Amino acid sequence: MTTNATTAGEPTLRRILAEPKLLAILVLGAASGFPNQITESTLQAWLKDAGESNTTIGILTYVAIPYLLKFLWAPLLDRYPLPLLGRRRGWIAATQFAIAAATAVLAFQDPAGSLAMVATCAVVIVLFSASQDIVIDAYKVDVAQPAERGLIAAAANLGYRASSWFAFAFALVIADAFGWRVAFLALAVVMLAFTAGTILAPEPDRVQSHPATLRESVATPLRELFGSPGAAALIVLVMLFKIGDAFALKLFTPFMMDVGFTKTEIGLIAKVIMTSGTIFGAILGGLWMVRLGLLRAMLLFGVLQAVSNLAYLALALVGKSYPVMVFAVAVDNLASGMGNVATVALIMAICNVRFSAFQYALLSSLALLPRYALGGPAGWIADHWGWGNYYIVSFVIALPGLACVWVMRDRVRAFG
pLDDT in tens, 312-366: 998 988 888 888 888 888 888 888 888 888 888 888 777 766 677 777 778 877 7
**Three-class secondary structure of residue 53 per DSSP:** coil
- pLDDT interval class at 52 (50, 70, 90): confident
Q: Is the pLDDT of residue 56 over 70?
A: yes
Question: What backbone torsions phi and psi does residue 53 show, to the nearest 5 degrees?
Answer: -75, 165
Are 46 and 175 within 8 A, CB to CB? yes
Q: What is the pLDDT of residue 2?
A: 36
The whole-chain average pLDDT of the chain stands at 80
Question: What's the one-letter identity of residue 203?
Answer: E
> How do the domains of the chain map onto residue ranges?
9-201+212-414
Measure the CA–CA gap between 90 and 263, rounded to whole angstroms: 37
pLDDT range class, residue 13, cuts 50, 70, 90: very low
**pLDDT at residue 10 in the model:** 47
Task: State the Cα–Cα distance between residues 271 and 165, nearest whole angstrom.
Answer: 6
Give the residue-averaged pLDDT of 100-114.
Answer: 87
- Region of poorest pLDDT, from 16-20, 258-262, 334-338, 390-394: 16-20
Identify the band that residue 148 occupies on the pLDDT scale cut at 50, 70 and 90: low
What is the SS3 assignment for 386? Answer: coil
Distance CA 265, CA 274 (A): 12
Burial group, residue 290, by CB count within 10 angstroms (0-12, 13-18, 19+):
buried
What is the average pLDDT across 370-375? 68
Note the pLDDT of residue 5. 37
Per the model's pLDDT, the better-predicted residue between 288 and 184 turns out to be: 184
CA distance linking residue 171 with residue 38, whole number of Å: 8
Residue 6: pLDDT band with limits 50, 70, 90: very low
Q: Judging by beta carbons within 10 Å of its beta carbon (0-12, 13-18, 19+), is residue 173 exposed, middle or buried?
A: middle
Mean pLDDT calculated for residue range 256-277: 76
pLDDT attached to residue 137: 83
Four-residue CA torsion sign, 117, 118, 123, 129: positive
Q: What percent of the chain has pLDDT over 90?
A: 9
The rounded radius of gyration (Å) of the Cα atoms in the chain is 20
CATH number belonging to the domain at 9-201+212-414, selected among 3.40.50.1010, 3.10.180.10, 3.40.640.10, 1.20.1250.20: 1.20.1250.20
pTM, to two decimals: 0.68
Taking 70 as the threshold, does the pLDDT of residue 235 lie above it?
yes
Indicate the angle between helix axes 322-350 and 115-143, nearest 10 degrees: 50
Using DSSP's 3-state secondary structure scheme, residue 85 falls into coil
- Residue pLDDT, tens place only, 294-308: 788 888 998 998 899
pLDDT of 117 reads 87
Q: Give the number of other CB atoms < 10 A from CB of residue 121.
A: 23
Instruction: Please tell me the distance from the alpha carbon of residue 368 to that of residue 391, in angstroms, as a whole number.
Output: 19
Alpha helices (H) along 309-398? 310-318, 322-350, 356-373, 375-384, 387-396
* More confidently predicted of 171 and 223: 171
Say if residues 191 and 96 touch (Cβ distance below 8 Å).
Answer: yes
Whether the per-residue pLDDT at 63 is higher than 60: the answer is yes
Distance from first CA to last CA of the chain, Å, rounded? 5
Tell me the three state secondary structure of residue 10. coil
User: Measuring CA to CA, which residue among 116, 127, 141 is closest to residue 69?
Assistant: 127
